[in-house]
């Protein structure tokens, strides 16, 4: 394992063991979307607060493998403070990156780059993308209490 892969693994484990922005808030202003993957047990709810055109808060709750939970934690940190259009672009680029599809490598994905190696393991792509897919639905104004 090279040094960069080792660093990425450490960051993933740090987010898995000490997740950021975990825990939902009982507030109707948040848009909440839940996605489940019955084949592996990943179950994540993303909750987003948008004020004006800015993401003021992004939270998650759920359980799953280390990649799923770390990806959700990284997502929340990445998106807080971003405008909605920028968040859409980042989400698209992230999903392209983890899927092994051509993406703009000049796009700064920040800490989300730690999931770049997932593209080498097709069975883990959904683990890394489930929270991001739920997040994009919150930007689309999905049902506030989608289950």
Helices (H), 19-102: 66-79, 84-99
The CA-atom distances, in angstroms, between 48 and each of 66, 68, 125, 145 are 22, 18, 23, 12
Residue range of the domain that includes 80: 3-139
pLDDT surpasses 80 at 144:
no
- Tell whether 48 is covered by a domain: yes
Tell me the mean pLDDT in the region 13-40.
95
Would the pTM count as exceeding 0.85?
yes
- Tell whether 96 is covered by a domain: yes
Question: Predicted confidence band at 38 (pLDDT cuts at 50, 70, 90)?
Answer: confident
Q: Give the pair of three-digit tokens for residue 36.
A: 């489940």
pLDDT surpasses 70 at 143:
no
- Tell whether 145 is covered by a domain: no
What distance in Å separates the CA atoms of residue 86 and residue 107, rounded to the nearest whole number? 11
pLDDT surpasses 70 at 146:
no
Whose CA is closest to 97, among 88, 87, 107?
A: 107
pLDDT tens for residues 93-131? Answer: 999 999 999 999 999 999 999 999 999 999 899 999 999
Number of domains in the chain: 1
What distance in Å separates the CA atoms of residue 142 and residue 33, rounded to the nearest whole number? 7
């Amino acid at each position: 394992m090279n040094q960069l892969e080792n660093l990425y693994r450490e960051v993933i484990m740090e987010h898995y063991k000490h997740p950021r922005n975990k825990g939902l808030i009982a507030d109707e202003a948040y848009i909440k979307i839940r996605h489940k993957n019955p084949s592996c047990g990943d179950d994540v709810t993303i909750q987003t607060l948008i004020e004006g055109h800015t993401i003021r808060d992004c939270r998650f709750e759920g359980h799953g493998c280390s990649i799923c939970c770390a990806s959700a934690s990284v997502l929340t940190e990445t998106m807080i403070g971003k405008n909605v259009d920028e968040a859409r672009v980042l989400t698209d680029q992230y999903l392209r990156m983890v899927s092994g599809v051509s993406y703009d490598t000049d796009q700064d994905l920040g800490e989300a780059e730690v999931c770049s190696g997932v593209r080498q393991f097709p069975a883990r792509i959904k683990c890394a993308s489930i929270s991001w897919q739920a997040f994009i639905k919150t930007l689309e104004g999905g049902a506030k209490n989608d289950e």
